[in-house]
């Protein structure tokens, strides 16, 4: 269960928060937590033409970051913006140069931030990505916020450019900027690759991954929410880039075993020689998927812990249990 630490002012002044991407995987959980607090007034944005599930807990704004947008009417009195909205999907055949990533992740972000600074917003929290650092780490090494960025795809490149422009804007205005670079985030409602992994385990599909010996940092959704909330108020957050994870790095086989344990099952894993595994992946067109499953990607969160006096609020096992329970509820409905 998420443990909320009250960050409201002692003099009971209502904090006004704008969360972009309010119906996304991360944004929806964030506003659920914030809207439950009596001294929080939450406004959230959604993509134009996307129908809301409920408008009872927060103010709703329809916006499209891929188009020129005038945010000014919705920024009056806002104390903090948490910018979770982004384009993170694969390139389409019609967008091979990644133009849509730049429109949304860089241009849309900067336009919002410039208007926010002009309107007197105090703090802008930008949800970036570990892809700014790169795709993989060497064994025994971990990404740090101080590393030279090395993004390899349009998504990571657009996030890096947004970071740079936000920091430049902050240096010339009174608006504080906080940047968070999460690795893979999982939790109830997760989609894409992590959902597929859960499905494979649940269906008892034998997986030839037992011999993989890697280490990966993962991030439970509520641990990310905890850090975001800490960054909303902590005075030392301003101007910093933060790495974050569950602080429980583990191998792919161990992750599969933990997922299976959450299902009260046994993971069906077997070994194949690495050369055979690579050949099979190449034949099936799954080379990138195998590389993600077999490579290392670790992050060093010790500066985050020290600067913010922050610790993960939930364990990987607890968050996996919540994730699996939500998956089962969805399958049964």
Distance CA 81, CA 17 (A): 6
Q: Could you tell me which of 285, 206, 300 has the C-alpha nearest to residue 253?
A: 206
Distance CA 95, CA 56 (A): 37
Q: Specify whether 23 is catalytic.
A: no
No. of H helices and E strands in the chain? 11, 9
Residues in the chain: 333
Q: Could you tell me which of 286, 277, 203, 218 has the C-alpha nearest to residue 250?
A: 218
Reduced to 3 states (helix: H, G, I; strand: E, B; else coil), residue 294 is helix
- What is 6-25 written as a DSSP string? P-S-TT-PPEEEEEESTTSH
Which residue among the candidates 4, 155, 195, 327 is catalytic per the annotation? 155
Dump strand ranges (E) for 21-75.
40-47, 59-63
Q: Could you tell me which of 19, 11, 220, 241 has the C-alpha nearest to residue 130?
A: 241
Hey, which residues are catalytic here? 155
């Amino acid at each position: 269960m998420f443990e909320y630490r009250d960050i409201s002012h002692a003099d009971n002044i209502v904090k006004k928060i704008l969360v972009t991407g309010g119906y996304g995987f991360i944004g929806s959980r964030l506003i659920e937590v914030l809207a439950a607090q009596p001294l929080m007034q939450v406004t959230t944005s959604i993509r134009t033409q996307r129908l809301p599930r409920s408008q009872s807990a927060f103010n709703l704004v329809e916006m499209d970051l891929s188009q020129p947008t005038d945010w000014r009417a919705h920024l009056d009195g806002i104390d903090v913006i948490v910018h979770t909205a982004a384009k993170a999907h694969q390139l389409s055949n019609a967008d091979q140069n990644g133009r849509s990533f730049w429109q949304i992740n860089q241009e849309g972000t900067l336009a919002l931030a410039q208007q926010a600074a002009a309107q007197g917003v105090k703090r802008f929290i930008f949800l970036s990505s570990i892809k700014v650092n790169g795709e993989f780490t060497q064994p025994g090494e971990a990404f740090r916020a101080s590393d030279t960025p090395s993004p390899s795809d349009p998504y990571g490149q657009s996030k890096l450019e947004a970071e740079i422009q936000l920091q430049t804007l902050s240096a010339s205005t009174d608006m504080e900027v906080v940047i968070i670079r999460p690795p893979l985030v999982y939790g109830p409602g997760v989609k894409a690759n992590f959902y597929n992994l859960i499905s494979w385990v649940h269906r008892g599909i034998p997986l030839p991954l037992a011999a993989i010996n890697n280490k990966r940092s993962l991030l439970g959704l509520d641990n990310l929410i905890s850090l975001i909330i800490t960054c909303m108020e902590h005075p030392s957050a301003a101007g910093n880039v933060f790495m974050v994870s569950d602080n429980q790095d583990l191998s792919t086989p161990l992750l599969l075993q933990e997922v299976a344990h959450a299902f009260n099952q046994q993971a069906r894993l077997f070994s194949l020689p690495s050369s055979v595994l690579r050949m099979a992946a190449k034949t099936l067109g799954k080379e990138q998927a195998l590389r993600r499953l077999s490579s290392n990607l670790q992050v060093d969160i010790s500066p985050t812990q020290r600067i913010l006096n922050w610790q993960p609020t939930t364990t990987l096992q607890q968050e996996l249990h919540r994730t699996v329970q939500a998956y089962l509820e969805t399958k049964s409905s």
